[in-house]
Structure 1
Amino acid sequence: MSEPGTVALRALQDGSVQAVAFSPDNKRFASGGSDTQLRVRSVGIGPPPLEVPTDGSVSGIAFSPDGTRIAVTDFEQVFLRDSATGTALWQGPLAPGNSVNSVRFAPDGRLIAATDTLVAVLDQATGEMQQRITVDPPQIADVDLSRDGTRVALAVDERHGGNHQHAGSARVHDLATGEQVSRLTPEDAVLAVAFSPDGLNVLCCAADDTTRMFEAQTGKQVWPTPEDIDDQVTAPNCLAFDPKGRWTVVGGSDGLARVLDADTGVERGRAPKLDPGHPEEESFGAVTQVAFSPNGKHAASASIDNVVRLFDIEGKELYTVPTDEVLALRFSPDGRWLGVGTVNGALVIDNGEAHRG
């Protein structure tokens, strides 16, 4: 077992890497970005690297639940490929002329893909669009899928499309019908959303400097309550749930990643921790990416001071790794590895014993 923070793999690419993914068996790491190549590499001993040319910049990658397929968003198209050979099984645009920003698999194997204004449910066998949810004219800033695959949460920036007022919303839609189930409307654009593991709540952060939890079914705000002072995070822009549903991690422009109690929003810890005697006004680079480990004991963050951190829920750091600017951050399903996409390639960090539950 390597020391936590050891770089186990450097995946060199010519340009930035916006998308990374691990196979369900934790043995393969996929990355893609501006150099119009999908690359799949073994973490440790395994098959030789697989390199597949793409038509445009890769913005999203996802392995199927059984690991035999890999979905790739490539400019305005979605490709489904054999994960062993890279052979395209089908491909097609969601909306011609619109770039596809993300893709993921539902538990039943359907694909959920999104552009700035459209979320589509695609049949894995044929690529046929089974459902479409449109958001027009605003922009979809983020998408999350409930664990059971029945609902999708959208972070919507309503300042776009000629509307320059400060407006935005977090919305929950039923994937079977496409109908909106609930909606929360802060006073500015919503930047990120995440479902709780049980699908009952949705966490969102907005450009009005707020982080809010609301009920997925009713839209009722859970926290902060009217008597709470919502000063937990400065300019929150990224967030994630602990897979067990007890904690959330939220990153802000003040350079701190805060672990909050999912039931109350009360802060449990933050990283990085200031050293004794350190000036309180010390500023760190804005946090741009956060993720929670599968064991629920650790979280990771990346910031524009070019540091990736792994820390526990109290904020105690287990390691820091210097990197180039980070564009994507993801744990492997077992938590052993942390995949990082940067402006100059990708890397896989070994979390050592920290991944054990």
Structure 2
Amino acid sequence: MSQPGTVALTVPHDGSVQAVAFSPDSARFASGGTDSVLRVRAVGIGAPLDVPSQGFVSAIAFSPDGSAFAVADFEQVFLRNGSTGSAIWQGPLDPGNSVKTVRFCPDGRLVAATDTAVVVLDGATGKTVQRIPVDTPQIADLDLSRDGTRIALAIDQNHGGDHKAAGDARVVELATGAEVGRLTPDNAVLAVAFSPDASLVLCCSADDTTRMFQAGGGAQVWPAKDDVDDQVTAPSCLAFDPKGRWTVVGGADGFARVLEAESGVEMGRAPKLTPGGPNPELGAVTHVAFSPNGKVAASASIDNVVRVFGLDGNEHYTVATDEVLAMEFSPDGRWLGVGCFKRALVIDNGEPGLG
């Protein structure tokens, strides 16, 4: 058993690694990005698998049974055999627009998205089951409910430009494409996350706010209208814990904050600074995630540090990395996968189930 925080696997790449994913049994790790090869490696003993790509893999997802994996590769979605890497089916969603997201529903359907549309595909054939165009795009972020019935969308109408009055967070039923809830902050919405039961949505906006709202109807839960939301500076990434009690939000001030889901009250933050003592300069937090048991969270920031910490913000370990472009816990919590420039890493969290 290696020490928590030990890099257990390094996967070299020729470009930046934009996407990582673990198989459902946590035994395989896939990574891809701007080079021409997607790599699947055993976390432990097993033969490596190299799969050709078109040169920009933006998302990877294993099927619920682990027998296949979906890849967003430029304008196309590929479903590939998990053992051989051969294409089971492939095709563009929206010619001229790159695919940004692929997610599997529990029943095997695949949800994929470009900047302008969400498409539900039959997992076996790749045929389109539902197409949901998005007015006033772009889609900045997407989350799929745990039961696979709803999606939450973060809309940024002026991506890379003026965010003022230029976005919202939406909840859409996958079966019908009907919108069932919307929250419109002052500025563009950058990220969204469902609670485990899909009744609530957490979102952060370019107006410097983090908000919780009801998925059905869009009523804001917190903060109250008269409250000043000063807990997170320029929030840009967030996650719900798998049990629905906590959220973690990363901001440009360099902190990842654990907030109580019911109230939005801060419970802890990482890193913890020493009052009156020497403290490091912090870079903006770009990625956050909760472990499957909800007891620890992870953050990555542009000061090139990955932190894993408890709900109170106390750090379990830190790992120096290059800039992190993708991050994900394994389903059993044993591993933390990160994608960086020219390599992907699998970091050991300790005993399975404790991460």
TM-score (norm: length of structure 1): 0.97
Q: Distance in 1 between matches of 2:265 and 2:322?
A: 32
Instruction: List, as ranges, runs of 4+ consecutive aligned residues in structure 1 with deviation greater than 3 Å.
Output: 160-166
Q: Where does residue 16 of structure 2 map in the other structure?
A: 16
Q: Where does residue 78 of structure 2 map in the other structure?
A: 79
1:338 equivalent to 2:325? Answer no
1:61 equivalent to 2:82? Answer no
Q: Distance in 2 between matches of 1:348 and 1:274?
A: 27
Aligned residue pairs, count:
355
Q: Which moved more, 1:282-291 or 1:61-70?
A: 282-291
Q: Does structure 2 retain, via aligned residues, the 8 Å contact 1:40–1:49? A: yes
Q: Where does residue 319 of structure 1 map in the other structure?
A: 317
Superposed CA offset, 1:49-94 (max 9, x none): 1001012310110000000010001100000010110010100000
Q: Distance in 1 between matches of 2:308 and 2:234?
A: 21
Task: Provide structure 1 residue ranges, at least 5 long, that are not aligned to the other structure.
Answer: none
Superposed CA offset, 1:205-243 (max 9, x none): 000000000000110000001232211100000000100
Q: Does structure 2 retain, via aligned residues, the 8 Å contact 1:207–1:235? A: yes
Q: Does structure 2 retain, via aligned residues, the 8 Å contact 1:137–1:161? A: no
Q: How does 1:27-46 map to 2 (within 5 A)?
A: 27-46=27-46
Q: Where does residue 188 of structure 2 map in the other structure?
A: 189
Gap change, CA 1:187 and 1:279, over 3 Å in 2: farther
| Percent of paired sites with the same residue | 72
Q: Where does residue 2 of structure 1 map in the other structure?
A: 2
SS at match of 1:14: strand
Q: Distance in 2 between matches of 1:267 and 1:162?
A: 31
Kindly state the Cα deviation for residue 167 of structure 1 after the two structures are TM-superposed: 1.7
Q: Where does residue 173 of structure 1 map in the other structure?
A: 172
Residue identity opposite 1:319 in structure 2: Y
Kindly state the Cα deviation for residue 353 of structure 1 after the two structures are TM-superposed: 3.7
Q: Where does residue 288 of structure 1 map in the other structure?
A: 286
Q: Distance in 2 between matches of 1:344 and 1:266?
A: 39
Kindly state the Cα deviation for residue 268 of structure 1 after the two structures are TM-superposed: 0.2
Residue identity opposite 1:341 in structure 2: G
Kindly state the Cα deviation for residue 161 of structure 1 after the two structures are TM-superposed: 11
Task: Provide structure 2 residue ranges, at least 5 long, that are not aligned to the other structure.
Answer: none
Q: Distance in 2 between matches of 1:214 and 1:236?
A: 16
Q: Where does residue 245 of structure 1 map in the other structure?
A: 244
TM-score (norm: length of structure 2): 0.97
Q: How does 1:156-305 map to 2 (within 5 A)?
A: 156-160=155-159, 165-278=164-277, 283-305=281-303
SS at match of 1:240: strand
SS at match of 2:325: strand
Kindly state the Cα deviation for residue 277 of structure 1 after the two structures are TM-superposed: 1.7
Q: Where does residue 307 of structure 1 map in the other structure?
A: 305
Q: Distance in 1 between matches of 2:159 and 2:270?
A: 33
Q: Does structure 2 retain, via aligned residues, the 8 Å contact 1:37–1:58? A: no
* Aligned Cα root-mean-square deviation (Å): 1.6
Q: Where does residue 109 of structure 2 map in the other structure?
A: 110
Q: Does structure 2 retain, via aligned residues, the 8 Å contact 1:254–1:283? A: no
Q: Distance in 2 between matches of 1:227 and 1:7?
A: 46
Q: Distance in 2 between matches of 1:316 and 1:354?
A: 20
Kindly state the Cα deviation for residue 36 of structure 1 after the two structures are TM-superposed: 2.0
SS at match of 1:29: strand
SS at match of 2:332: coil
Residue identity opposite 1:299 in structure 2: A
Superposed CA offset, 1:283-304 (max 9, x none): 4100000000001100000000
Residue identity opposite 1:111 in structure 2: L
SS at match of 1:294: coil
Kindly state the Cα deviation for residue 38 of structure 1 after the two structures are TM-superposed: 1.1
Q: Does structure 2 retain, via aligned residues, the 8 Å contact 1:167–1:186? A: no
Q: Does structure 1 retain, via aligned residues, the 8 Å contact 2:164–2:188? A: no
Q: Does structure 1 retain, via aligned residues, the 8 Å contact 2:164–2:186? A: no
Q: Distance in 1 between matches of 2:135 and 2:185?
A: 18
Q: Distance in 2 between matches of 1:267 and 1:165?
A: 27
Superposed CA offset, 1:232-291 (max 9, x none): 1000000001000000000000000000000000000000000132379x6410000000
Kindly state the Cα deviation for residue 310 of structure 1 after the two structures are TM-superposed: 0.3
Q: Distance in 2 between matches of 1:324 and 1:139?
A: 28
Q: Does structure 2 retain, via aligned residues, the 8 Å contact 1:304–1:325? A: yes
1:90 equivalent to 2:89? Answer yes
Gap change, CA 1:158 and 1:7, over 3 Å in 2: same
Q: Which moved more, 1:344-353 or 1:292-301?
A: 344-353
Residue identity opposite 1:17 in structure 2: V
